[in-house]
Structure 1
Amino acid sequence: MAAARISAATERAPGRRETESALSLAERMPRLVLEARRVSTTLAHGLHGRRRAGPGESFWQFRPFVTGEAAARIDWRRSARDDRLYVREREWEAAHNIWFWIDRSASMGFASDLALAPKVERALVLGLALADTLVEGGERTGLLGLTRATASRRIVETMAQALIGDAAGLEADLPPRAAPGRFDEAILISDFLSPLEAVAGAVRSLAGQGTRGHLVVVVDPVEETFPFAGQAVLHDLESRLSLDVGDAAAWGEVYRTRIAAHRAGLAEITRNQGWTLTLHRTDRPASEAALRLLTLVSAARGTG
């Protein structure tokens, strides 16, 4: 049997740098905002938004006047510029909001050599890019427990500033208690390595309000495959404990089995509440997960 020993991590222990990195995002946020804008731009062309005519306050578009409509709807200023009559349509504004929670706890700072970015950076880019794209599509978005839902074109900057100022959120590996609206949606982005009972409780709390939701599990490829052999020291970035493993290869199969069981548990949690589950590896482009989430949100809106 492979030998193992648990010890307290020292100040110089591997993983310390990743932990501190996860807790100091302010200097990296401008770069992440730019990356989020880039991802949202690539998604914009394929977005089938919810902007449509209806009893809202925001101008949406002009369209030709149709015989039989009330003459009071004609926009005479616009019509004067053409030889046709035009109606000023306003945007349909439903009482739906999309709320984000982005895990920034210490475990999210991990990044292996196989990853394109640390988990926390990928989670932030995903959340900000999705919010930006959804606002462009006519939605209102916000951060659970931090901001109100808004359709502001500066949603990325608003969310980034709120995250930078949220020191308490750096210690939370599960979303805060919140009360979204009955027809709202929640997008929770994390590695979800917390105990399944805790994750289930957080999801039930949100779903109990009638909120629909989506779990986005961000994983490093190394966390999926456990490609280690020989003697190894594993570090828990949350508890600061270390595990000295005498034969890492022998532990690999057990680890992969437990990870598979944990993922199956997450799938059951979401299935029981009618939510969705998306697995995103950090060696893949952020746009892949973002496009899937946009499709899921669109599908949920179609059945709402």
Structure 2
Amino acid sequence: MSATVQSSARPAGLRRSAEALAATLPPLLAEARHLAATVQLGEHGRRRAGMGDEFWQYRAAHAGDEARAIDWRRSARADVQFVREKEWQAAQSVHLWVDDARSMEFTGDPKRQAKADRARLLALSLGVLLIRAGERVGLADGIAPPRSGEVQLLRLSEAFTRPAGETDYGAPQARAMLAGSRAVFLSDFMGDPAGVEGALAQAADKGVTGVLMQVLDPVEEAFPFDGRTIFESMGGTLIHETRKAGDLRDRYRARLEERKERLRHLARTAGWLFTTHHTGDPAQGALLWLYAALRKGS
């Protein structure tokens, strides 16, 4: 939906070589780092016994434990032998999909971020936090397979600053997701829900769990239109003119709530989580919710 067309300000192009690490950070990545730094987080929710480098806890030795696993210094202070366990540190893969369709370019206020800008910022900020936590992060469409490290953040930044797509509404891409991984889809989900349903079915077949975050402008929730109004999709393929826009408000809101309920149902069926974020709200809260939601699936 678009009553007022406002183009999203696109970040500057990115340096494609490793020299970018020593140069001025690309605007989107710099903003993402700043947002990530404002979110105070504890340790990532992956703590369990296994192969790793960081000490986690002592436990009493069991039959079958190797002698080299016993901490003799700690055992000398007790009547039992103790094994020094380390934190499980097998990195997990997280796939990101950010809708680049034209509908995401909408903002109801020139002073407010377009949906696309907010979605990209949240995705990249989440990538910063996950990579800091030792995870591998990539894109669900296969353009940037999951990797760790600073160079991967530059790859993601470059992918997120590509020009908008040609279609009015987007559909998630799930073909490149790894079995047993996690995923985050950010979109307004205003297109055909069948695309979301198909992507979640593919994800479920691969044992992928994740999050659907619907990003909406406050205008799209409130529908504050009255009188003669021309509604035009961002790509210009859909146009509707009415003389009594206010008469459509209740029906529009009901349809939007039906859409949200269907998305909730699809997410629940696939073992995913669903939420709605508004561009008029602070981005920090949405980022913290996303990170916590992924921790639950760890």
What is the TM-score when the length of structure 2 is the normalising length?
Answer: 0.78
- Distance between the aligned counterparts of 2:210 and 2:161, measured in 1? 24
SS at match of 1:70: helix
> Gaps (5+ residues) in structure 2?
15-24, 62-66, 72-84
Which of the residues 42, 48, 52 maps onto 2:38? 42
Q: Which residue of 1 aligns with 2:296?
A: 299
Report the alpha carbon displacement of residue 142 of structure 1 after superposing the two structures with TM.
0.7
Q: 1:132 to 1:44 in 2, by over 3 A?
A: farther
> Aligned pair 1:70/2:68, yes or no?
yes
Which whole-Å CA distance do the structure 1 matches of 2:87 and 2:69 have between them?
A: 20
> What amino acid is the match of 1:38?
H
Residue 212 of structure 1 corresponds to which residue in structure 2? 209
Residue 201 of structure 1: how far off its partner (Å): 1.4
- SS of residue paired to 2:280: coil
The answer (yes or no) to whether the contact 1:179–1:209 under 8 Å persists in 2 is: no
Letter in 1 for 2:223: F
Aligned to 1:121: 117
How does the TM-score come out when normalised to structure 1? 0.76
Structure 1: 5+ residue stretches without partners? 1-8, 74-88
Change (3 A) 1:50 1:95: closer
* CA deviation vs aligned residue, 1:140-167 (integer Å, no higher than 9, x gap): 11111211211213433220123345x6
Instruction: Find out whether 1:247 has 2:244 as its counterpart.
Output: yes
**AA of the residue aligned to 1:224:** E
SS at match of 1:116: coil
The letter of the residue matching 1:194 is G
- RMSD, matched Cα: 3.4
Q: Is the 8 A contact 1:220 1:282 kept in 2?
A: yes
Q: Per-residue deviation at 1:48?
A: 3.3
| Range with bigger deviation, 26-35 or 140-149 | 26-35
In structure 2, which of residues 183, 188, 191 is the aligned counterpart of residue 194 of structure 1?
A: 191
Query: Where does residue 232 of structure 2 map in the other structure?
Result: 235
Cα pair distance change 1:152/1:49, threshold 3 Å: farther
Q: Percent identity?
A: 33
Match 1:130 to one of 123, 126, 132: 126
Give me the whole-angstrom Cα distance separating, in 2, the residues matched to 1:254 and 1:224. Answer: 12
Detail structure 1 runs of 4+ shifted over 4 Å in the superposition: 24-29, 51-54, 60-66, 167-172
3-state SS of 2:239 partner: strand
Count of matched residue pairs: 269
Amino acid in the other structure paired with 1:231:
R
Q: Give me the whole-angstrom Cα distance separating, in 2, the residues matched to 1:257 and 1:65.
A: 56
